[in-house]
Structure 1
Amino acid sequence: MTLPATSILIVDDHPVILSGFRTLMEDAGMETIHEATTIVDAYRSFYRQRPGMVIADLAFGDQGVSGLSLIRRIRNLERRTRILAFSMHDDPAIVARALESGATGYVLKDAPATEFLRAFDHVRSGRSYLDHDVALRVAMLNASAQRSPLSTLSERELQVLLLIREGNSYHIIAEKLSMKYKTVVNIISTIKQKSGAHSFAELINFSMAIEI
């Protein structure tokens, strides 16, 4: 049995974007459109409604790329769901992480509406989708012997790195991610080892130098 191809869940924490998506999806013939602005509400909505397709942003407020965990949880719950990741992040390591988590396709937020609809049509029909340039960069990343530094980071480490880049202190990071201060210290220590940074200043420089 296939999931209903006319039902969709749209997940984004910006009301204007949700409104725009709803209009596009109505024009595309989607009969049932669910919306969520948080990871928790999105998973609850999916669990109750089981839509055939999900469009999910990767970044929610100060939680970095927490949308990756949502994609993975949805995929674990329902293998047949078609998931289109929608994000401002164009780093091939993040794109690859989204696909590994279970996204069927990936489109950038600054893409024109025509490309978004093309991605939507591909994913809705069960086909994967990546913009040609993004697909090439992901392929080069996978083929390269020297992997992107981001590809070695865990989801939580990536979230912390994003917050470091924004200039947040250890205490603020712990507060935003609902973590203990010592846990943040340990995570940052691990990021330093993986990135080759020897100080917090070098780690900041690392976070600013890479595409993220």
Structure 2
Amino acid sequence: MTRVCLIGTADCNLQYELLSRETSRDALATYDLERPFENSIALRTVSIGAAVSLLNDLNWYLTRFVDVALVQEPSVSDDEWLSRSLATDLRNGTLEPRETDKFCTVYGLERVGSEPESDAERGGEQPFDGAEREHVGEGDDVDGADADSSDSPGTVPTQWRLVEPLYVRRTDGELPEYDLRDVEETLVVRLTESEHAP
């Protein structure tokens, strides 16, 4: 399954903007929505073609409310994401999967809110490893106000925020270390060459 993740701009509530408008709500209605990061919506599609088609259907909303649109295709990588442009190039056959790993951006990941004391308390899950995160349903408060209400007693909700992208080039199969700030985790996004050096 191919994953799609949309990260909202700082000045909007992405869940509200997408789920309160009929056209975008209808486009997302058949998907099981998640919130793996702060101000985000994520879902799974059947293929990279379906992912790119969905992003094209939502383009009007993406240009207004989305800072970053990501696609994760298992046939390319299990732990690295693709930019929308790179996913489109793959879908169109412009690039082969083995040609996608040269140009990347690495985001730092910071916890938002309270932090659990150990990996065992948070289940050892990372926000980008394919694990199910907080779900967004039709009856949910789309502004996220009830995000903590479903947590079991004694558990600590984990929310992550993408911070300060570092543009890098893979050399001999290795990416440079993320050094813009001290973070627990990072998220790698593969880019087209033009996105890497606009």
Per the normalisation by structure 1, the TM-score is: 0.28
Greater helix content: 1
Structure with higher RCO (Cα < 8 A, 6+ apart): 2
Greater strand content: 2
